[in-house]
């Protein structure tokens, strides 16, 4: 039996200044002192997770002060100090939407909108968000058991995309989050490597494929996927395209999401079956087969070169092109017709809005098509791999594995998915503030069984401290 201990704090909302007598900070020195007193010492922790909104305005000084508190101590007056003294190697940190502001002191609110994570990366160089894909991973291992953690930047403007000028919509940029296709592809790529036993352990060497397969898989991001119970839905807070994001996370086999953002606490078990539709189940199945024959996984969603969603019209056209390629009708110049379709597809990539009319005309001329078909190009890629790179003996072995994959795909709908939200741990309270809290997770592995225990510590406003005894919650993963 192996036990891991992970502490989870979130939404500290540091602002400038650490004078404990000054009530104007957006963070609370009292809460920060309370965290220091109640959190286990770093020697008793395997990891400290900080799930974003470390600062209030993303300014460099606030983020540097926050890093001082997390990794060392900060002065608070009268010769006193407070801090968590967490080693950098034991911290897992992601930015939140407030950390992407990089705001100045002058100009309108719109002019001071979120721009980049330059200040966050300056304050947390060992936990930087890479511009290329805005994600990273971590591996914890003890006694033959492992926990795989992936960290993603879910900030709307923290993913190196240009949202300035006429196309910028402030109502979409305040607090909403998203996962980009690049991030999804990166998560899938790491999962593929892990399943093949080729994922690099940051501490050295590679992670064994059996150990990775049996590992508990945790995603850490600032934004939540599902509204906590008894909480109203907030358009400006929720992540974009939640269902697509959730389905893509299912393709990477995640068990748990650790998040913050709403300053609410929640411990909710969801089922993949409630969010994974038929398309996702088919993609889940075909991705397993792709890995089996040595090809990379593919996400559900597709985007054009501008990062926009490709409409269903493009899918129709791609399927039509695939069917045209198989047609050999006498008297029909299929080459010329295919060239016409390709030209229209190219136009559609730049401007998909006019495709629907062309689609209907093409369908009327060439007969009905099904949007649910897999594109011919993918089948050709798989067929080429199987016929050219695999021996007869390997193909026979893969047939046996494929039957197990079918059973895995059929059971996907029953898979549990645990979302754990951490309330704000140190933001100064207002008249309508949510409860202040932090979590301690004790995660126990016994063979192929995982027990996830959450100890939630909620601030006691009468005693002015985080309590000795937490609220305890459990979930078991088989």
| pLDDT, tens digit, 9 for 90 and up, residues 26-72 | 999 999 999 999 999 999 999 999 999 999 988 899 999 999 999 99
Q: Measured between alpha carbons, how far is 337 from 321 in angstroms, rounded to an integer?
A: 9
Q: Which residue, among 418, 150, 152, 422, has the nearest Cα to 260 in the 3D structure?
A: 422
Query: Beta-carbon neighbour count of residue 40 at 10 Å?
Result: 11
Residue 387 pLDDT: 65
Q: Measured between alpha carbons, how far is 64 from 119 in angstroms, rounded to an integer?
A: 9
pLDDT tens sequence across 429-477: 875 677 899 999 999 999 879 999 999 999 998 999 999 999 999 999 9
| Residue 114 and residue 156 in contact, taking contact as beta carbons nearer than 8 Å | yes
pLDDT tens sequence across 405-421: 666 666 777 889 999 99
Averaged over 75-84, what is the pLDDT? 94
Share of the chain above pLDDT 90, in %: 43
Global pTM reads: 0.80
Q: Is 268 helix (H, G, I), strand (E, B) or coil?
A: strand
Query: Beta-carbon neighbour count of residue 354 at 10 Å?
Result: 12
Following CA atoms 312, 316, 318, 319 in sequence, which dihedral angle do they give, to the nearest 10 degrees? 130
Q: Which of 88-92, 271-275, 277-281 ranks highest by mean pLDDT?
A: 88-92
Share of the chain above pLDDT 70, in %: 68
Residue 398 pLDDT: 65
CATH superfamily of 2-293+414-477: Metallo-dependent phosphatases (3.60.21.10)
Number of Cα atoms under 13 Å in the Cβ half of residue 361 = 9
Sign, CA dihedral 373-377-380-384, equals negative
- Average per-residue pLDDT for the chain: 79
Q: Measured between alpha carbons, how far is 36 from 300 in angstroms, rounded to an integer?
A: 43
Q: Measured between alpha carbons, how far is 74 from 251 in angstroms, rounded to an integer?
A: 42
Q: Measured between alpha carbons, how far is 423 from 337 in angstroms, rounded to an integer?
A: 58
Contacts of 8 (CB under 8 A, 6+ apart): 48, 49, 51, 258, 420, 422, 438, 439, 440, 441
Candidate from 85-94, 127-136, 158-167, 285-294 with smallest mean pLDDT? 158-167
Averaged over 140-152, what is the pLDDT? 95
Residue 158 pLDDT: 43
| Residue 318 and residue 339 in contact, taking contact as beta carbons nearer than 8 Å | no
pLDDT tens sequence across 88-139: 999 999 999 888 866 555 555 444 444 568 889 899 999 987 666 788 999 9
**Does the structure show a pLDDT above 60 at 319?**
no
Q: Measured between alpha carbons, how far is 381 from 278 in angstroms, rounded to an integer?
A: 23
Q: Is 182 helix (H, G, I), strand (E, B) or coil?
A: helix
Every domain of the chain and the residues it spans? 2-293+414-477, 312-389
């Amino acid at each position: 039996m192996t036990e891991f201990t992970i502490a989870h704090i979130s939404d500290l909302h540091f602002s400038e200044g650490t004078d404990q007598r000054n009530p104007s900070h957006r963070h609370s020195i009292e809460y920060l002192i309370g965290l220091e007193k109640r959190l286990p010492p770093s020697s008793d922790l395997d990891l400290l997770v900080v799930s974003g909104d470390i600062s209030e305005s993303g300014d460099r000084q606030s983020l540097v002060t926050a890093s001082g508190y997390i990794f060392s101590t900060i002065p608070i007056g009268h010769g006193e100090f407070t801090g968590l003294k967490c080693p950098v190697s034991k911290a897992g940190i992601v930015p939140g939407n407030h950390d992407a502001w990089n705001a100045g002191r002058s100009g309108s609110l719109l002019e001071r909108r979120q721009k980049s994570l330059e200040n966050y990366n300056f304050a947390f160089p060992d936990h930087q968000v890479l511009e290329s894909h805005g994600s990273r991973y971590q591996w914890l291992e003890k006694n033959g058991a492992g926990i795989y953690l992936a960290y993603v930047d879910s900030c709307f403007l923290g993913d190196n995309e240009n949202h300035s000028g006429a196309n910028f919509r402030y109502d979409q940029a305040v607090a909403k989050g998203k996962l980009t296709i690049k991030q999804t592809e990166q998560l899938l790529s790491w999962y593929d490597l892990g399943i093949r036993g080729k994922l690099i352990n940051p501490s050295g060497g590679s992670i064994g494929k059996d150990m990775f397969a049996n590992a508990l898989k945790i995603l850490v991001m600032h934004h939540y996927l599902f509204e906590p119970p008894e909480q109203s839905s907030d358009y400006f807070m929720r992540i974009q395209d939640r269902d697509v994001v959730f389905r893509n996370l299912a393709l990477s086999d995640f068990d748990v999401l650790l998040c913050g953002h709403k300053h609410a606490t929640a411990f909710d078990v969801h089922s993949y079956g409630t969010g994974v539709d038929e398309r996702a189940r088919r993609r889940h199945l075909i991705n397993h087969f792709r890995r089996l024959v040595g090809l990379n996984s593919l996400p559900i969603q597709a985007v054009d070169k501008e990062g926009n969603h490709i409409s269903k019209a493009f899918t129709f056209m791609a399927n039509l092109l695939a069917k045209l390629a198989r047609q050999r009708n006498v008297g029909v110049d299929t080459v010329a017709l295919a060239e016409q379709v390709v030209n229209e597809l190219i136009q559609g990539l730049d401007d998909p809005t006019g495709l629907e009319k062309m689609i209907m005309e093409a369908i009327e001329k060439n007969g009905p098509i099904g949007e649910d078909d897999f594109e011919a190009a993918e089948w050709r890629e798989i067929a080429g791999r199987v016929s050219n790179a695999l021996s007869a003996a390997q193909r026979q072995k893969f047939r046996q594995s494929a039957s197990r994959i079918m059973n895995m795909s059929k059971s996907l709908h029953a898979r549990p998915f645990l979302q754990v939200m951490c309330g704000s741990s140190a933001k100064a309270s207002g008249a309508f503030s949510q409860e202040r809290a932090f979590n301690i997770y004790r995660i126990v592995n016994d063979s192929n069984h995982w027990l996830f225990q959450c100890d939630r510590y909620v601030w006691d406003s009468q005693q002015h401290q985080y309590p000795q005894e937490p609220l305890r919650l459990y979930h078991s993963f088989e």
